[in-house]
Structure 1
Amino acid sequence: MNDERLKADAKLLVIEDDATTRLLLRKILQKEGYEVVLAKNGIEGLDKAIELSPSVVISDWVMPGLDGIEVCRRLRANADLSGTFLILLSSRETVSDRVQGLDAGADEFLSKPIDPNELKARVRAGLRQYQLHRQLSVANSNLVETLQKLQQAQARLIQSEKMSSLGQMVAGIAHEINNPINFIEGNLSFAKDYIQDLLAIIKLYQKYHSQPEAEIQDKLDEVDLQFLIEDSERLIESMRFGATRIHQIVKHLKNFVRLDEAEMKRVDVHDGLKSTLIMLQNRIKFEGTKEIQIIEKYNELPKVDCYPGQLNQVFLNILNNAVYFLHEYTRKRIIDDPIVKIETELIRERSEICITIANNGPSISEDVRPKVFDPFFTTKPVGKGTGMGLSICYQIIVERHGGQLSCVVPPEGGTAFIIELPLEQEDL
Structure 2
Amino acid sequence: MMLEPLLKPMYILLVDDNPNNLKVLSEAIQGCGWKTLVATDGESAIEQTEYAVPDLILLDIMMPGIDGFETCRRLKANSITQNIPVIFMTALTDATDKVKGLEIGAVDYITKPFQQEEVIARLKLHLKISHLTRTLEQRVQERTGELTQSLQQLQNTQLQLIQSEKMSTLGQMIAGIGHEINNPIGFISGNCSHIEEYVKDLLRLVNLQQQKLPHSDPEIVELVKEIDLEYLIEDLPNILASMHQGIGRLKDISLSLRTFARSDISSMVEFQIHEGIDSTLMLLKHRLQDQGKRSKIEVVKEYGNLPPITCYPGQLNQVFMNLIANAIDAFDDLYQNGSVQKIAATPYTITIATSVQPQEKTVSICIEDNAFGMPPEVQARIFEPSFTTKAVGKGTGLGLAISYQIIIDKHDGQIQCLSTSGQGTKFIITLGI
TM-score (norm 1): 0.80
1:181-221 Cα distance to aligned partner (Å, 9 max, x none): 22111111121122222222222321222111222112212
Alignment of 1:338 with 2:355, yes or no, is no
Given that 1:339 and 1:360 are in contact with CA atoms closer than 8 Å, whether structure 2 keeps it comes out as: yes
Q: Distance in 2 between matches of 1:5 and 1:325?
A: 63
Residues 148 and 185 of structure 1: is their aligned pair in 2 closer, same or farther, counting only changes over 3 Å? same
Identity over the aligned pairs, expressed in percent? Answer: 33
Which moved further from structure 2: 285-294 or 362-371?
362-371
Kindly state the Cα deviation for residue 226 of structure 1 after the two structures are TM-superposed. 2.5
Kindly state the Cα deviation for residue 22 of structure 1 after the two structures are TM-superposed. 7.3
- Pair member with larger Rg: 2
What are the equivalent positions in structure 2 for 1:23-422 lying under 5 Å apart? 28=29, 32=33, 41=42, 45=46, 56-58=55-57, 60=59, 62=61, 64=67, 67=70, 70=73, 74=77, 84=83, 86-91=85-90, 108-109=107-108, 111-112=110-111, 113=114, 115-285=119-289, 286-331=291-336, 332-333=339-340, 334-336=342-344, 337-366=347-376, 368-381=378-391, 384-408=394-418, 413-422=423-432
Q: Distance in 2 between matches of 1:58 and 1:147?
A: 41
Gapped runs of 5+ residues in structure 2? none
Gapped runs of 5+ residues in structure 1? 424-428
Q: Distance in 1 between matches of 2:93 and 2:385?
A: 52
Given that 1:326 and 1:338 are in contact with CA atoms closer than 8 Å, whether structure 2 keeps it comes out as: yes
Given that 1:42 and 1:68 are in contact with CA atoms closer than 8 Å, whether structure 2 keeps it comes out as: yes
Q: Distance in 1 between matches of 2:352 and 2:48?
A: 53
Given that 1:272 and 1:312 are in contact with CA atoms closer than 8 Å, whether structure 2 keeps it comes out as: yes
Amino acid at match of 1:199: L
Q: Distance in 1 between matches of 2:226 and 2:432?
A: 66
Q: Distance in 2 between matches of 1:306 and 1:40?
A: 70
1:205-257 Cα distance to aligned partner (Å, 9 max, x none): 21222111222112212322222223222222221221121111111112112
Q: Distance in 1 between matches of 2:222 and 2:309?
A: 66
Amino acid at match of 1:414: G
Amino acid at match of 2:57: I
Given that 1:15 and 1:45 are in contact with CA atoms closer than 8 Å, whether structure 2 keeps it comes out as: no
Q: Distance in 2 between matches of 1:102 and 1:161?
A: 60
SS in 2 for 1:349: coil
Given that 1:301 and 1:353 are in contact with CA atoms closer than 8 Å, whether structure 2 keeps it comes out as: yes
Kindly state the Cα deviation for residue 342 of structure 1 after the two structures are TM-superposed. 0.3
Residues 321 and 212 of structure 1: is their aligned pair in 2 closer, same or farther, counting only changes over 3 Å? same
Kindly state the Cα deviation for residue 298 of structure 1 after the two structures are TM-superposed. 1.4
TM-score (norm 2): 0.79
1:296-347 Cα distance to aligned partner (Å, 9 max, x none): 1212211111111121122122212211112212542232232110011122
Kindly state the Cα deviation for residue 143 of structure 1 after the two structures are TM-superposed. 0.4
Kindly state the Cα deviation for residue 273 of structure 1 after the two structures are TM-superposed. 0.6
Residues 225 and 109 of structure 1: is their aligned pair in 2 closer, same or farther, counting only changes over 3 Å? same
Residues 126 and 252 of structure 1: is their aligned pair in 2 closer, same or farther, counting only changes over 3 Å? same
Amino acid at match of 2:210: Q
Q: Distance in 1 between matches of 2:285 and 2:319?
A: 17
SS in 1 for 2:359: helix
Which moved further from structure 2: 340-349 or 224-233?
224-233
SS in 2 for 1:263: coil
1:6-46 Cα distance to aligned partner (Å, 9 max, x none): 943x8867484657567887883797466979796489749
Residues 227 and 148 of structure 1: is their aligned pair in 2 closer, same or farther, counting only changes over 3 Å? same
Kindly state the Cα deviation for residue 260 of structure 1 after the two structures are TM-superposed. 4.3
- The size of the alignment, in residue pairs, is 411
Q: Distance in 2 between matches of 1:375 and 1:55?
A: 45
SS in 2 for 1:345: strand
Kindly state the Cα deviation for residue 71 of structure 1 after the two structures are TM-superposed. 5.8
- What's the Cα RMSD here? 3.9
Kindly state the Cα deviation for residue 404 of structure 1 after the two structures are TM-superposed. 2.2
Q: Distance in 2 between matches of 1:38 and 1:391?
A: 57
Q: Distance in 2 between matches of 1:200 and 1:249?
A: 36
Q: Distance in 2 between matches of 1:23 and 1:88?
A: 18
Amino acid at match of 2:365: I
Residues 221 and 356 of structure 1: is their aligned pair in 2 closer, same or farther, counting only changes over 3 Å? same
